[in-house]
Structure formats: structure tokens, C-alpha cells
Amino acid sequence: MFEPKRLHPVSVIFTTIQTFKQLILGFLPIAILAIGDGMFFYLVLGIGVLLLLIVGFSVLTWMRYTYQVEEDQLRIEHGVFIRKKRTISKHRIQSIDLSQNIIHRLFGLTKVQIETAGSDHKIDAALHAVTLQEGKKLHDQLKYKQTVEMQRTDDQVEVVSYPSKQVSTKELLIAGSTSASFGFIIGLFALGFSELEVIIPDSFYNQASAWVVNLTIQAMIVMALTFFIIIWALGILVTLFQYWKFTITRYEKELFITRGLLEKKQMTIPLKRIQAVGIKETIIRQLFGFSTVYVEIASGDINNSGDMKTLVFPLMNRKNIHSFLAEILPEYHLPIEKQMKLPKRALPYYLVRTAFIPLIASIIVAFIAVDWIAVALIVFILSAVIGYFQYRSARYQLSNHQLMIQTRVLNKDILLLKHHRLQSFAVKQHFLHRRHNLASIDTAILSRLAGRHVMLNEVDVESALQLADWYSYEK
């Protein structure tokens, strides 16, 4: 247990790929120039030599990289030219995540990612390739005072007596088929097919028809539909691959997530790093009554993939959220009754905010391009409708230590905030607000090493002050 170990030799492949990726951008212009000058032979030669060098370097890197587990620390030594030694104390380790991509799975390996509390990610360590068995062993050895019992059965981690929830295939299919890109496309098509011919002026048709003269309308529609179905299917596939068997388990002090079909991923979220819980409903999902649950966490690198907003559940029926939170995150609750809405006099503000610019645009269009007035008016009406729904959705609820704020831009977003997680609290009033006894509130939470402002516009001024009193430490 105490002697230094090397990573699995496959890590050479990873280093090679990684280095090559980094270099390729720099060499691409040279390569293109070389091809242009007819120096193809030299280019191939150059690439060959380069590859050889990189592979050699990767092998050296692998040879020089050792790790060892000592009493209560992990020691890593690495570096080809500059030797670096790093010791990470067990007590400081926040989470150890195992993840496997396709190459890992081919060889039965895993990547071990060790995260410490600091915000400096250079301090964190990642063992790129060790055998799965070794990975599990490391996980158990380094876990400080972890009483979690895990039994491995076949292909999935089974956990004894901790609340856990897995996504169903049906939910995943729905999640995929209602993903954001799809919503956008369907909206576009709905608009296109129903109204296009009426709205768009004849002059445009005449010009456009010059180049599509060979295509019949039917053929175009078929093409568009095929394209659309392919994109849709792709969206569903991506979601299935990403969130396959998404399972979340609640331990005493952390949430543990496993997911993925080809690339298996594990994620540990320490509870004390959770800054807020959010529930998001895109327009389409809202129609069908589905929501996504996510958390805002303090430091960023837990998930490297940018699109994933630290989901704690990819999709579930709105009705189940209450029991889900009660089981997995009992610190937070979704209040259903006593939600406070905005006063009626707030509505004009919301309408003006969304529809003012389209209105001006419509007026301009009416003067300079009267043909297009229908399009402008539709945009204007749509934005007014959005404004109305923003007003309708805006609400809040206050219970002991938790503030719920629900807002909408296009999608509905509910945030559950804890008193001690709010970094500051502001009440804003402009001169019209003062006349109408309204105020906006603006508070901030920490999210990925930066602040995220949570705002609720045009609340009744008395309620805003009550919220401020609730927040204030000087009672």
C-alpha cells in the first residue's frame, strides 16, 4: 500500500491525444500553407516526426508519474523536466469522482478525480487511468471517515439504506424530445407553416422563387421535415447517452450522482457547498407538467461540461418534486400554498419592459416598410404576451429560513434560497415605483466562483420591506 504506483499504461494514449489536440491548432496554419505550396511530402514527414516526439514524451510522462497512498495522505510525483511532488491530505479532500469514457471502458479502467476545497483547480489532482478495482480502492482509502457501504453488483452501484432515486427511461425520452433546441425548432415551424404565406409580402416571394424555381414546395417541406426529425432524434439520443441510468443518492453530507451510457460519470456534491436549489421548466415542458431540478454550487470544476447546470434530476413530473426534495434534499422544500403574487399595478411595467422595443420597431416599420407590418405586429403581440406571462409567473414565498423566488424570462425558474446563503440584499425603487408603491428586490448568491443575482421586479413596497426585515440581522 505504501509503495509508489504508476498509472495504467493506457494513460499514454490519453496524454498523446491531449498533447496532439493542444498542438494541432498551432500547426494548422503551417500545414495549410505547406499543402498550398505543394510540400505535401514534407508535411507528412513533419507530422510523423511530431507524432513520434509526442508519443515519446507521453511515455516519459507516464514513467515519471507515480502516486502512493500513505497513512492519511495521497502523494503524487510527476514531471519530466521539472519534478513536482504534491501531497494532498485526506482531511482536505472534498470529493473523489470516478468517470469512464469509451477508452476507459474498453480496458476496464477509470479516471479518478480528486477535488479539494480550494478554488484553485491546479491543486486538485486527477489520475487519468487506473484500473477500476484500483479506483474503487483509492476511493475507499481516501474517503475520510466515510461510513458509506457500497456493494458492487454487476454494472451498477447499489447503496444500502440511503435514499436514492433513478430516472426512468420514459422520463429520459421525454427529456430528450423536449430539449431546448427542439422547442425552438418546433416554434419556428409552427409559425412557418401556418402563417408564412399570408405574412411575407409578394415582392419577397418573387425574388426568392427565382432560385427555388426547380424545387416544388412539397419537396422543400419534405426536406425540411426530414432535417427537423433528424435533429430531434439526435437530441433524444444525446440526452439518453448523457443521462442514462441517472441515479442520485443522498448520503449524510453529500449528494452522489452516477450517469451516462458510453461515458460513465460519477459526481459528488458536498451539501455544504450547495448555495441554492433551482427548478426549471421550459415552455414545452411546462405544458406537459415536467421540471428539471438543479443546484447552484460554490465552486465550479465539479462538472466540466458547460451545458450541464449541475442537474440533480434531469426530468420529473412537477407533482413529484415535493416528495423528491423531502427525500433527497430535506433542507429545502417547495412551498405550494401562500405564494405571494405581484400587485396588479405591476403589470404595466412588465408589458413595457418586453414590448416597448418591438412597439417602436413596429412604428418604424409602418413608416418605412409597410409591407412587413404584419411581422412586426406579430412580434409586438408575442412580446406583450411574454411580458404578461412574466408578470403572472413572478411570485415569492417566505418561510422560516427559506425564500422562494419564481421568475420567468421565457422559461419558468424557481429558486429556493436559504437565508444564510444570500450574500446581500437590496431594495430598488425608481421614481415611478415610488409613485406606485412598488419596489424591486435584488439579492445575490455565490455560483461557480462568481455571483448570481436573483431579482424580482415590482413587488409591493411593503412586502419588499418585509423581505428586507427578514434578511436583516439587526432585528
Piece of the chain touching another protein by CB under 8 A; list 77-85, 213-221, 300-308, 467-475? 467-475
Q: Which of residues 117-176 bind another protein (CB under 8 A)?
A: none
Residue 335's H or E segment, with its range, is: none
| Identity of the residue, 165 or 433, whose beta carbon is nearer to another protein in the bound complex | 433
445 binds another protein (CB under 8 A): yes
Contact call for residues 90 and 142 (beta carbons, < 8 A) = yes
Q: How far is the CB of 298 from another protein (least distance, A)?
A: 5
Q: Which of residues 423-442 bind another protein (CB under 8 A)?
A: 423-431, 434, 442
Residue with cell 449528494: 255
The dihedral through the CA atoms of 245, 249, 255, 256 has a sign that is: negative
27 binds another protein (CB under 8 A): no
| Identity of the residue, 55 or 426, whose beta carbon is nearer to another protein in the bound complex | 426
Q: What are phi and psi of 268, to 5 degrees?
A: -115, 130
User: Which residues, in sequence order, are bridge partners of residue 460?
Assistant: 438
CA distance 349 to 431: 13
Residue with cell 468517470: 99
Q: Which of residues 257-276 bind another protein (CB under 8 A)?
A: 272-273, 275
Piece of the chain touching another protein by CB under 8 A; list 144-152, 312-320, 385-393, 446-454? 446-454
416 binds another protein (CB under 8 A): no
452 binds another protein (CB under 8 A): yes
| Identity of the residue, 121 or 434, whose beta carbon is nearer to another protein in the bound complex | 434
420 binds another protein (CB under 8 A): yes
The candidate with the shortest Cα–Cα distance to 416, out of 431, 404, 407, is: 404
Q: Are strands 340-341 and 395-399 parallel, antiparallel or unpaired?
A: antiparallel
| Identity of the residue, 64 or 452, whose beta carbon is nearer to another protein in the bound complex | 452
| Identity of the residue, 145 or 475, whose beta carbon is nearer to another protein in the bound complex | 475
Size of residue set near another protein by CB under 8 A: 32
Q: How far is CA 259 from CA 89, 152, 174, 267, 285, in A?
A: 28, 16, 17, 9, 22
Residue with cell 427548478: 279
Does residue 40 sit in helix, strand or coil?
A: helix
CA distance 294 to 281: 11
367 binds another protein (CB under 8 A): no
444 binds another protein (CB under 8 A): yes
The candidate with the shortest Cα–Cα distance to 315, out of 275, 288, 277, is: 288
197 binds another protein (CB under 8 A): no
| Identity of the residue, 22 or 424, whose beta carbon is nearer to another protein in the bound complex | 424
| Residues in contact with another protein by the rule CB under 8 A | 272-273, 275, 298, 420, 422-431, 434, 442, 444-447, 450-453, 465, 468-469, 471-474
